[in-house]
Amino acid sequence: MKGSLHTDELMSEVVKRDGGLRTARRVSHCFIMDVPAYSEALIITDAAVNIAPTLEEKVDIIQNAIDLAHALRVKDVRVAVLSAVETVNPKIPSTVEAAALCKMADRKQITGAILDGPLALDNAISLESVAIKNIDSTVAGRANVLAVPDLEAGNMLAKSLTFLAGADAAGIVLGARVPIILTSRADSVMTRLASCAVAVLVAEARRANATKAVS
């Protein structure tokens, strides 16, 4: 768990190849957010670690988020791969990557969830927006995982939900050998406790999966 130090200092230790906590999986961060106006918790990734992830890195980022959702006992994981619009536009690279990620999910390169994208934020979380725009999707309007194009978009989204929508948040880093609780030095006691609770659930899920693998 990060204490009173800058995130960069912690992550420099995490990503060391020898003696650190790194695995073959890309390390990424997830916010788990309880938004009063939304019917279920939202997982937002990545808003704290990967600045401008590549398509290959986004595969791991999304898989980490899906695994987290299962650890939190989410029955149906619905991932919206976000961009500014809901159609593929070659002039907006994030829309092309979103479409590729969805096809990779179709080919089982990403597992454990239903993916759709590109989707704008309103299309991802508002059924009214989906109806107006006539979008045919099992994810649109009902997403519980939001995969953002880059850290800037994710950071602004998470902070907007916290400060404008009154959301409570927990934060965790995944893809390392152990769950890492990555909170801000200014976070509340509630946020720190919620992050601890999430880490416990992730550790429990890993132990359960390890037991299954050897039984």
Indicate whether 214 pLDDT > 90: no
Phi-psi category of residue 93: left, alpha or beta, with phi > 0 → left and psi -120 to 50 → alpha? alpha
pTM, two decimals, is 0.89
Beta bridge partners of 30: 172
Q: What percent of the chain has pLDDT over 90?
A: 75
Mean pLDDT of 34-57: 96
Is the predicted pLDDT of residue 7 greater than 70, yes or no?
no
User: What letter represents residue 84's amino acid?
Assistant: A
DSSP 8-state assignment for residue 210 = H
Q: What is the pLDDT of residue 186?
A: 67
User: Which two tokens mark 200?
Assistant: 């416990």
Confidence of residue 16 (pLDDT cuts 50, 70, 90): low
pLDDT at res. 137: 96
* Burial environment of residue 187 by CB neighbours within 10 A (0 to 12, 13 to 18, 19 or more): middle
Q: Write down the residue that tokens 């020898």 correspond to.
A: 18
Per-residue pLDDT reduced to its tens digit, 88-111 = 999 999 999 999 999 999 999 999
User: Please, are residues 79 and 66 in contact by the beta-carbon 8 Å criterion?
Assistant: yes
Domains and CATH numbers, the chain: 22-169 (3.40.718.10)
